[in-house]
Copies of this chain bind each other. A is one copy, B any other.
Amino acid sequence: MLSKKTKYGLKALAYLASRKDRQPVQIAEIAREENISQKFLESILLTLRKNGFLGSRKGKGGGYYLIKDPKDIPMTSVMRVLEGPIAMVPCVSLNFYEPCADCPDEASCAVHKLMLQVRDSALEVYRHNTLADIL
C-alpha cells in the first residue's frame, strides 16, 4: 500500500506544480484544497524541502514553492524520499540493498527472481514519469 505520506506529498507537489508562478503557497491552502490534515502535511513538506524539492519562506506572504521545473523532477526520486525503497524486498534494492538473513543463495531464490522483475517494471514507470507528466 502507498502510504498517506507519499500520497499527500505527491498531491502537494502536483498542486504546487500546477501553479504557473513560483510564488510561495501556504501549507494551509494546500491542506484545504487537497483535503489533507494540515499538521501532517507540515511534516511532509518539511521533508520535501530538506530533500531539495521545495523551498520555503517564513512570515507573511511565506509558504512553500517548487525549486525545480516539474519536468526535471523524476518520480524515482520523489518515491524514494517519501515511500522509501522502490524494491519490495531489500535483496533486490538498488539503493538500499541488504542480503536476506534466511536466504542462502539469491540466484536460486524464487522470491528474488520475481521481485527483481517487479522492481524493474516499477522503476521503468517511475523513471519515465516526471512531476510534469502526472499533472
Which of A's residues lie within 8 Å of B, judged by CB? 1-2, 7, 10-11, 13-14, 34-36, 75, 85, 88-89, 102-103, 109-111, 113-115, 117-118, 121-122, 124-126, 129, 134-135
Contacts and interface: CB of A to CB of B under 8 A. Distances in A.
B117 A2 contact: no
15 contacts: A1-B89, A7-B89, A10-B114, A14-B111, A34-B102, A36-B102, A75-B114, A110-B135, A111-B134, A114-B125, A114-B134, A118-B126, A121-B124, A121-B125, A122-B122
Given A1-B85, A35-B103, A121-B125, 5 more contacts: A2-B115, A10-B111, A35-B102, A118-B122, A118-B125
A89 B11 CA distance: 14
Given A110-B10, A114-B129, A2 B122 contact: no
Contacts of A121: 121-122, 124-125
Copies of this chain in the oligomer: 2
A11 B104 CA distance: 13
Contacts of A35: 102-103
B110 A2 contact: no
